[in-house]
Amino acid sequence: MYCYRKVTDDLYWVGSNDRRLAMFEGVYSVPAGVSYNSYLLLDEKTMLLDTVDKAVKGVFFENIAAVLGDRKLDYLVVHHMEPDHSEAIWEVVMRYPEVQIICNKKTANMMKQYFNFDVDSRVVLVKEGDSISTGKHNFVYVMAPMVHWPEVMVSYDTTDKILFSADGFGTFGALNGALFADEVDFERDYLDEARRYYTNIVGKYGDQVQALLKKAATLEIEMICPLHGFVWRKNIGDFIGKYMHWSSYAPEEYGVVIAYASVYGHTENAAEVLACRLRERGVRTVMFDVSVTPASDIIAAAFKYSHLVFASTTYNAGIFVNMESLIFDLVAHNIQNRTIALIENGSWAPTSGALMRKEFEKCKNMTILDNTIRIISSLQESQLPQIDALADAIAASLPQAAKKQEAPAELKEDTGKLVDPTAMFKLSYGLFVLSAKDGDKDNGCIINTVMQVTDVTKRIAIAVNKANYTHDMIKKTGVFNVSVLTTDAPFKLFQHFGFQSGRDADKFADFAESRTANGLRYVPEYSNAVISGKVIEEHEYDTHTLFIAEVTEAAVLSNTPSVTYQYYFDHIKPQPQPTTDKKGYVCKICGYIYEGETLPDDFICPLCKHGAEDFEKL
Ligand code: FEO
């Protein structure tokens, strides 16, 4: 019996579910099954969007027949040629011989590799920006290479504002009667599977996903119809936010993944001891036995958490086989921006530590802690200080707010989250160190405009003077940190970051090394919060650029009050001394004195870069 669902008045889901599949794509376990989504539009022309895997094509064709009735099928759109969506194409062509296939050139070529029917005679080729009308609906085609194969494209229905997103925005799991994400408790029951789907299927292609998201940001999207998992019609911004986060390779939460490979339990024992020492320091831990837990689950956890510990016995003079496979897979999935610690074991010639290190050295922006622990057969009591030292090193690299038991009482909710929502409460009309990085060069400047724009997803706006070097870095890299300064910040800190240019000085040279997950410096002393932003929009206003950014990380650093602009003027900035021998104007921000009868309207303070409006007559 057919089993379809209505998506809109004239759009139908005609896909199906498979709960018998042991391994999706031969490698990813799908204990809750998987859905193959296909959509059928009944407009003046009828249009089928993608097909399904051969395992479920029986009910798929029943669905098409039931929805079409006595109408013919005019178009089949092929967004993605991977067989889980294309296997039934040949049968569509046999059953509906008049159908025309809308696809791009790469797809057409692949189709010839898979099928023997005359592809050229029935394809309608589209390229970036092309559109096709079915009557009431108009579809625009957007190329999305490597999300997740090179031929992938998505389409956008400009009439109903629906994005048909191919593999993008998919989720593992059969639909169980629900079609829309808002029909289930997605965050509780499916978010982990969505993350596992993303990281394993397209995690390697973060740059390409970001490119697609950039294109999608120009569209008004009211619904997303992916090829796996639920259709999105509510809270779309939240899920897009997740994709922005995941594709940036920034961890979502502070915490330590401990993955161990242990033949007789001794390496496992060392991992357990480390986990205990970390928990005693208030650090969140999750543990996996790589011989038991599928690699796809561990990869998803590695994308979620900030710190990764790998403990492996030596096996055939190398890394234990399951651990080696996991690490190769992680490196292949482009894991980056993590802190790594290693434990090796071996009864006569331990080699796994050095070999694991070598693999992770191939990754971008990894901090591999020096103190690899070497176990000879089993952990000895004399080695417990080494475990303590490793736990100390890991705990020291986490912000205070991530260490649950040490956090102030009011921060105990939500600790461990990479974005601590309470960090937003520190924002005021205050003063901030804005930091950025270009290549090896770190820099920072003082700004006075940071505001929260949205809550779900968390976004902030910052206004930055175009004369600042940090401004140019953010323009180039799209990422920044804001350190929220406190009332105990001394004037020399404002002078240091505000009254000299990073083009001439290394402003972080004398500061202790403190970086957030995005690799940027921040100022832990005299700051009560640090907020990391990834730019999603820019607006130019004469002297300043307004950057709108998604918050990728936020942590509370202290409970000292934020400095406000007023407090700075009243209590921190030295008051200009009365002068009788100088005529001119004084900068209210930094105290610079301009000597002269008239201050030009377009004058910019050479120290703090504020304009003439911030000067007053001496
Ligand atoms: Fe769902 Fe890339 O196939």
Q: Is the pLDDT of residue 576 over 70?
A: no
Instruction: Grade residue 605 by pLDDT with cuts at 50, 70 and 90.
Output: confident
Residues lining ligand 1, CB < 6 A? 80, 82, 84-85, 148-149, 167, 227-228
- Six-digit token string for 376: 């000879």
User: First CA to last CA across the chain, in angstroms?
Assistant: 87
Which residue's C-alpha comes closest to atom 3 of ligand 1? 82
pLDDT of 415 reads 44
Looking at per-residue confidence, does 211 or 411 come out higher? 211
- pTM of full prediction above 0.75: no
pLDDT of 401 reads 53
- Six-digit token string for 113: 């590799």
Tell me the three state secondary structure of residue 259. strand
**pLDDT digit string (tens) for 367-420?**
999 989 999 999 999 999 999 999 999 998 886 656 654 433 333 344 456 888
Instruction: Grade residue 586 by pLDDT with cuts at 50, 70 and 90.
Output: confident
From residue 5, give the alpha-carbon distance in Å to each of 155, 169, 332, 478, 501: 21, 19, 38, 41, 61
Q: Is the pLDDT of residue 46 over 90?
A: yes
206-216 vs 236-247: helix crossing angle, rounded to 10? 150
Ligand 1 closest atom vs CA 36: 1
Contact 296, 284 (CB under 8 A): no
Q: Is the pLDDT of residue 340 over 90?
A: yes
Instruction: Let me know if 546 is exposed, middle or buried by CB neighbors in 10 A (0-12, 13-18, 19+).
Output: middle
pLDDT of 577 reads 62
Instruction: Let me know if 38 is exposed, middle or buried by CB neighbors in 10 A (0-12, 13-18, 19+).
Output: buried
pLDDT of 191 reads 94
Q: Is the pLDDT of residue 607 over 80?
A: no
Ligand 1 closest atom vs CA 167: 1
Amino acid letter, residue 587 = C
**pLDDT digit string (tens) for 534-562?**
999 899 998 899 999 999 999 888 878 89
pLDDT of 574 reads 80
Q: Is the pLDDT of residue 262 over 60?
A: yes
As a whole-number percent, the residues of the chain with pLDDT over 90 amount to 74
Ligand 1 closest atom vs CA 227: 1
Contact 429, 448 (CB under 8 A): yes
**pLDDT digit string (tens) for 477-527?**
999 999 999 988 999 999 999 988 888 899 999 887 788 888 899 998 889
Ligand 1 closest atom vs CA 152: 2
Ligand 1 closest atom vs CA 228: 1
Averaged confidence pLDDT in the chain: 92
Q: Is the pLDDT of residue 573 over 90?
A: no
pLDDT of 109 reads 97
CA of 187 to the centre of ligand 1 (A): 23
Q: HEC states along 200-230?
A: HHCHHHHHHHHHHHHHHCCCCCCEEECCCCC
Q: Is the pLDDT of residue 131 over 50?
A: yes
Q: Which of 255, 546, 570, 558 is nearest to 397 (CA)?
A: 255
Which residue's C-alpha comes closest to atom 1 of ligand 1? 167
pLDDT of 515 reads 87
Instruction: Grade residue 29 by pLDDT with cuts at 50, 70 and 90.
Output: very high
CA of 600 to the centre of ligand 1 (A): 62
CA of 222 to the centre of ligand 1 (A): 23
pLDDT of 578 reads 58
Lowest-pLDDT range of 258-267, 352-361, 452-461, 576-585: 576-585
Contact 190, 34 (CB under 8 A): no
CA of 577 to the centre of ligand 1 (A): 70
CA of 392 to the centre of ligand 1 (A): 43
CA of 85 to the centre of ligand 1 (A): 7
pLDDT of 414 reads 41
**pLDDT digit string (tens) for 329-339?**
999 999 999 99
Beta bridge partners of 450: 462
Q: What mean pLDDT is predicted for residues 170-179?
A: 97
pLDDT of 75 reads 98
Ligand 1 closest atom vs CA 170: 1
Q: What mean pLDDT is predicted for residues 248-263?
A: 93
CA of 88 to the centre of ligand 1 (A): 14
Ligand 1 closest atom vs CA 25: 3
CA of 59 to the centre of ligand 1 (A): 20
pLDDT of 384 reads 97
